[in-house]
Amino acid sequence: MQLIFRRADARPPIEHIDTETPAVILKILPDPFYHGGLGASRSLGRLGIPVYSVHEDRLAPAASSRYLHGRMFWTPDPDDADQLRQGLLRLAADIGRPAVLIPVDDASAVFVAEHGDELRPWFIFPAPPHNLPRRLADKYLMYRMCRELGVPCATAALPTSLAEAQDFAARIGLPLVAKLTCQWRRGHAGALRSTSVIHTREELVDYYGRCEQAEGTTLLLQEYIPAGPGDDWFFHGYCDSRSTCRPAFTGIKERSYPPHFGVTCLGRSVENERLRRQIEELLTRLSFHGILDIDLRWDARDDQYKLLDFNPRLGAQFRLFENTAGIDLARAAYLDLTGQAIPAGVPVAGRGFVVEILDPIAALGYRRRGELDVRSWATSLHGVTEKAWFAADDLAPFGLVCLRMGWHGVHRQINRISRDAVRPRYLEPRYRPGRAPRGAQPEQDERP
């Protein structure tokens, strides 16, 4: 089918795209508030491409997008390659013809690269070196790769004991940044965030203890890179089979949740040629193929962009970027993988992207730190062109995510209240000397 697609604004149209081949947006870790997959479904769906996507449950807000032709509800074990392969083969059977496969989380990107060969008759996807996505997504392996290739990065260590962790802190100094090496195994890490800042020795002891108890994850300690506003950068791109990045975009993370250490809530597209060249050169050396999203921080101490995080897949805020030909990364990947030319263009400067359900909460955090007031918050939202959830032509995901956020908040509150209600029971001594019957043993305090 040939489709002529015209955008509402004055930019040149994307013309004569063959939209016959379906696309599958693959996410295997449960996270109903993840918006990257929704952006991809909308971007491809608006071109008329039949889009299918994988969701954790029937109430996943992104699953309600009108741009989806089909949905699969599934929470597989990310470590069970057989289960993943079987599930994808079932989806392929339903679709009935080869589809472009777009992973949107680390777990699916690593699985597809390492175990995807048998899926090739049914799915079309890039072919980077098999172990490359794991070496990039694992924060310690990425650090070692940076060291080997001479890429600027923050000094890091993988302590195997508390003493080693304390030794690293003594050498590098506090604060430190603590990260979980494999984010795609976060499910095992309970309440631990993937990235936290550690200010004191006591916090280090506490964090180390909690990590030891979190099965299947490993703690990475990293030098803290001081920065000011506008020093957190990202690079988003699509590399073709020759590892040529087209298109490539750079932008600034303006706000995150939690403040300064978390997911992007507000981002802006800003051209940075030096950074773009630095990353493009690295991608060629790595023989990277596919979509990528990199976080960096500019370090004023030595005037270098330090690589912090390499996501070998579509990043959540990828819709921040589009070129003047109307091409974003999902479209570029689709076109290239289906053998079509990627229309050339230059990045549209000054685009803004906001995660509207998180940014007000993030802004409160910045306000508490004295870094933002209501007026500067309002000003910061000027020129925001893209919202993570709200789209006038596709309202259901936004409605559902608001409901689900509300429910999530109430649920957390109930949990907190009921925890508080039971806490005194555990704090009360359960044996009172002098009142126990003769011969009775004191009961054990059951406080966890």
Interaction of residue 154 with ligand ADP, rule CB under 6 A = yes
Interaction of residue 41 with ligand ADP, rule CB under 6 A = no
- Going from the C-alpha of 45 to that of each of 20, 59, 131, 425, the distances in angstroms are 12, 20, 31, 55
Interaction of residue 177 with ligand ADP, rule CB under 6 A = yes
Closest distance between ligand ADP and the C-beta of residue 252, in Å? Answer: 11
Q: Which of 396, 357, 359 is nearest to 45 (CA)?
A: 396
Q: Which of 235, 378, 383, 216 is nearest to 315 (CA)?
A: 235
Q: Which of 100, 176, 179 is nearest to 137 (CA)?
A: 179
For the chain, the 3-state helix, strand and coil shares in percent, each to the nearest 5, are 35, 25, 40
Interaction of residue 295 with Mg ion, rule CB under 5 A = yes
Interaction of residue 322 with Mg ion, rule CB under 5 A = no
- CA-CA distance, 42 to 238, in Å (whole number)? 18
Taking CB within 5 to 8 Å according to partner kind, which of ligand ADP, Mg ion, none is near residue 154?
Answer: ligand ADP
Closest distance between ligand ADP and the C-beta of residue 71, in Å? Answer: 27
Interaction of residue 309 with Mg ion, rule CB under 5 A = yes
- Going from the C-alpha of 200 to that of each of 56, 195, 243, the distances in angstroms are 38, 16, 43
The encoded tokens of residue 252 equal 């600034």
Among the residue ranges 6-14, 219-227, 244-252, 428-436, the one whose residues contact ligand ADP (CB under 6 A): 219-227
Closest distance between Mg ion and the C-beta of residue 294, in Å? Answer: 8
Q: Which of residues 253-272 bind Mg ion (CB under 5 A)?
A: none
Q: Is 39 exposed, middle or buried (0-12, 13-18, 19+ CB in 10 A)?
A: buried
- CA-CA distance, 318 to 311, in Å (whole number)? 12
Number of other residues whose CB lies within 10 A of the CB of residue 125: 22
Among the residue ranges 13-21, 203-211, 295-303, 324-332, the one whose residues contact Mg ion (CB under 5 A): 295-303
State which of residues 43, 65, 108, 195 lies at the interface with ligand ADP (CB under 6 A). 195
Nearer to ligand ADP (CB atom), residue 46 or residue 253 = 253
The encoded tokens of residue 442 equal 């004191």
Taking CB within 5 to 8 Å according to partner kind, which of Mg ion, ligand ADP, none is near residue 177?
Answer: ligand ADP
Closest distance between ligand ADP and the C-beta of residue 154, in Å? Answer: 4
Closest distance between ligand ADP and the C-beta of residue 3, in Å? Answer: 36
Nearer to ligand ADP (CB atom), residue 64 or residue 217 = 217
Taking CB within 5 to 8 Å according to partner kind, which of ligand ADP, Mg ion, none is near residue 254?
Answer: none
Which residues contact residue 4 at a Cβ distance below 8 angstroms, ignoring those fewer than 6 apart? 13, 15, 16
Nearer to Mg ion (CB atom), residue 307 or residue 400 = 307
- Going from the C-alpha of 288 to that of each of 132, 282, 326, the distances in angstroms are 8, 9, 24
Interaction of residue 232 with Mg ion, rule CB under 5 A = no
Interaction of residue 386 with Mg ion, rule CB under 5 A = no
Task: Identify the bridge partners of residue 55 per DSSP, sorted by sequence position.
Answer: 73
3-state secondary structure of 294: strand
State which of residues 19, 41, 222, 317 lies at the interface with ligand ADP (CB under 6 A). 222
Interaction of residue 258 with ligand ADP, rule CB under 6 A = no
Q: Which residues bind ligand ADP (CB under 6 A)?
A: 154, 177, 179, 183, 194-195, 222-225, 232, 253, 260-261, 295, 297, 308-309
Q: Which residues bind Mg ion (CB under 5 A)?
A: 295, 309
